[in-house]
């Protein structure tokens, strides 16, 4: 009789543990990931030249406010606050916000895409996966299809790192920004201001 009771209690214990594990896995599979702005970086690079015949100068700049989510359905929605542009020169920041990005009317630049969530769910802490994700970049009121070559790294503490393996090339002409680029070039007294800007990011998402 005692042996029977022990076996029955053991079966109940195993069943309870199995149910709890299943609930935890189901919760993880259907959890949303949210961007942690403090741990994320978003850079873009500009190329310029002064007088004709002078060497070009390449500079790296950043946006300090990045947000967004990856839903349990795999939908990626990343947004960048264009008013948070930081070039280390306040006057240049103001010109970029007002003339190029028109931040008052268009406060965010967006990237949307779809990722297979089973790829994320299979990753263990420390493991990575390289994926190519077709998506859409929206800047001002223009949208452009682009393929992002990304690396996913599963971090501890319910975190996921999403970073570019190759820069995304954003061309001003694709978003009707060439007029703003020319205005900036004239204000800065430059001979050349490239209309193309490579963009890199390393975004940390936290599971909610």
Instruction: Please report the pLDDT score of residue 31 as a whole number.
Output: 75
Instruction: Please report the pLDDT score of residue 8 as a whole number.
Output: 54
pTM score, whole prediction:
0.82
- Sequence-separated (6 or more) residues with CB below 8 Å from residue 170: 44, 137, 139, 196, 197, 198, 199
The domain spans of the chain are: 1-30, 31-207
**Looking at the domain that runs over 31-207, which CATH code has it been given?**
2.40.128.110
CA distance 75 to 116: 9
DSSP structural state of residue 122: H
Does residue 28 have a pLDDT over 90?
no
pLDDT, one tens digit per residue, over 81-130 is 999 999 999 999 999 999 999 999 999 999 999 999 999 999 999 999 99
How many Cα atoms sit within 13 Å of 90 on the Cβ side?
A: 0
- Residues facing 6 on adjacent strands: none
């Amino acid at each position: 009789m005692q042996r029977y009771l022990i076996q029955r209690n053991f079966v109940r214990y195993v069943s309870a543990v199995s149910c709890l594990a299943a609930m935890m896995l189901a919760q993880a599979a259907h959890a949303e990931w949210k961007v942690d702005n403090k741990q994320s970086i978003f850079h873009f690079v500009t190329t310029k030249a002064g007088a004709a015949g002078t060497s070009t100068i390449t500079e790296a700049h950043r946006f300090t406010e990045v947000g967004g989510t990856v839903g349990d359905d795999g939908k990626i929605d990343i947004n960048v606050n264009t008013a948070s542009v930081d070039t280390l020169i306040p006057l240049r920041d103001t010109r970029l916000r007002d003339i190029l990005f028109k931040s008052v009317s268009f406060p965010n630049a967006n990237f949307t895409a779809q990722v297979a969530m089973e790829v994320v769910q299979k990753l263990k802490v420390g493991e990575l996966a390289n994926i190519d994700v077709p998506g859409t970049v929206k800047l001002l009121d223009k949208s452009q299809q682009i393929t992002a070559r990304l690396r996913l790294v599963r971090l501890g503490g319910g975190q996921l790192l999403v970073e570019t393996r190759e820069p995304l090339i954003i061309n001003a002409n694709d978003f009707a920004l060439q007029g703003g680029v020319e205005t900036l070039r004239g204000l800065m007294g430059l001979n050349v201001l490239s209309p193309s800007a490579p963009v890199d990011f390393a975004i940390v998402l936290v599971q909610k």
